[in-house]
Structure formats: structure tokens, C-alpha cells
Amino acid sequence: MADLKAMKQQFLEYIEIEKGRSVKTVENYDRYLTRFLDHTKVKTAENVTESMVREFRLWLNRQPGVSGDMKRKTQNYYMIALRAFLKYMRRNNVKSLDPERIELAKVGARDLDLITAAELDRLLNGPNGTTTQSLRDKAILELFFSTGLRVSELCSLSRDLDLSRDEFSVRGKGDKVRVVFLSSSAKDAIRAYEKKRTDLSDALFVNVSKINATNKNDRLTSRSIERIVKGYAVKAGITRKVTPHVIRHSFATDLLENGADLRSVQALLGHANIATTQVYTHVTDKHLREVHQKFHGKRRA
């Protein structure tokens, strides 16, 4: 009989090494599966049942703190992890619950957190000083909007960017490499920031309040960059929550509004599945409405 705790460890190693999942994803899957095992007290793969999963979902649903679609999304994270675990066991000829028996909860259409073009301009123009910190922050914001990078991808950048070119490669989710493109304003901002730097760190974006000529390990974290973006959003008078991902949304909608097709935006964002990019169809829908108004029914006028 297959011990579930041992199988779980093998599964986590498999998704990290073989599937190239990020450390954060592995940590999340570990947390979801551990909570399932602790709650159900199930020890062996053969004893996982559909009713056990249903009872666990009911328990999750009754947890305080979140409600509505968000609660269903949270439950789905657990179910996706459990389903992936069951599929892994099936591939390894371990008898357990059929992963196809686990269905995800229906959730409403995802609402995009968007800011207006005017708000985006105010945000990008927020850092306007000549200090290393201000120049760094300007480079961060311009690079986000130029490339649509995820915050983790931006954090991992090194100083060896070739600014004589308009593009560079980045390694994103699932260890997949894609090409992103630099605007002239992003290149200018990075050059100005780099010119001001006096340290020897290999990281492109560093904590300038702590860095010195000998400190080579002070790369900004995702959380630090999120705080920087939030600070400039407040300074710009934007009342809604602004994160690096909101700028990524602005990057995608800007492309679509100016005529880019969904497949190209998918490639630029590094989405593995076009369905993920289709969250932006509200933009293409607007374009279709304009096409309909311009070209439909003219013979009846």
C-alpha cells in the first residue's frame, strides 16, 4: 500500500525537477496537500475517496475570512493540487481516486484591475529625482510597462542587459524562455540608473539604502518592488490598489487597443495557454463593437 506522505514528497520533487515549477508553486502545493492529509487523516493512496474530498471541500467552504468567488477560487487551488497529485500517482501505477472525479468550482468571470491611461502616465512619471533610488524606481516602472514582465522575472534580472539591442530573453514560469522588448524610454531610464550605480552587485535592481561597493547580495525582492509600486501609485493619487501585475495588465491592454492580436499578446506575456490571455477579451470585444457599428447595416440606412 502506497504511503501518501512519501508519495507527496516524491510528487513535489517531480514537479520541481521534471516539470520545472517554481519554488513558490512547490511550496503552495505542499501546503495544500499537507492540509488535505492532516484534515482527512488518510494515510494510504488506496483509501482516498470521493466522499472524503467532498467533506474536505465542505470544511474549506466553512472557513472564515473570505467569501463568494474568492472562496471558490481558493478551494480550486486545493483541488488543482490534489488532482495533479492523483494524476502523478496514476502515471506511476499507484491505485487511488480517479483524478477526473474531482471537479473545480464554478467561478465568475475574472475582473481585471485596470488603471486609466492618465493614471498610468502619472505613475510612470512619479520618480523624477536624480538620486540612485529615484532613478532605480523610474527604471523599474518603465521596464514593467515596456516588457509586461512578472515581478519575479524583473527581480531576477542582472546588470548584463545589452542596451544596444531592443530585446532580451527572460526565463519565466515553467522555466520557459521568451523574448521581451525594450522601449526607448525604458532603455534611457536603465542607462541613467546604471550610470549612477557605484556598487559591484550583479543584480540589476538593488536596495540602494543598504548597498555599498563590496556588498554583492542585496537584490530587491518581489515584496520590496510591490511596495515601491504602491508608493508611487499613492503619490500619483490613484485610489485603487496598484501592483506590478496591474502594470502588466496595462501592458497587455495597450497592445490590444492598438491592434495587436491575442496570440501575439499571449507570447509576449509568456502565457502557456491562450485561455489565460483571454481575460483581456473585453478589449477585443470593444474593438468588435466598433467594427460592428462602422460596417453593419449600411445598406438599410
Active site residues: 150, 173, 245, 248, 271, 280
CA dist 47 and 7 (Å) reads: 14
Residues in Cβ contact with 54 at an 8 Å cutoff, skipping those fewer than 6 apart? none
CA dist 152 and 135 (Å) reads: 20
34 in helix, strand or coil?
helix
Exposure string for 272-287, b = 16+ CB within 10 A, e = fewer = eeeeebeebeebbeee
Exposure string for 142-164, b = 16+ CB within 10 A, e = fewer = bbbbbbbbbbebbbbbeeeeeee
CB atoms within 10 A of CB 65: 7
Beta carbons of 4 and 42 less than 8 angstroms apart: yes
Beta carbons of 138 and 183 less than 8 angstroms apart: no
Q: Percentage helix, strand, coil, to 5, in the chain?
A: 60, 5, 35
CA dist 122 and 118 (Å) reads: 6
44 in helix, strand or coil?
strand
Q: Amino acid identity of 255?
A: L
CA dist 247 and 249 (Å) reads: 5
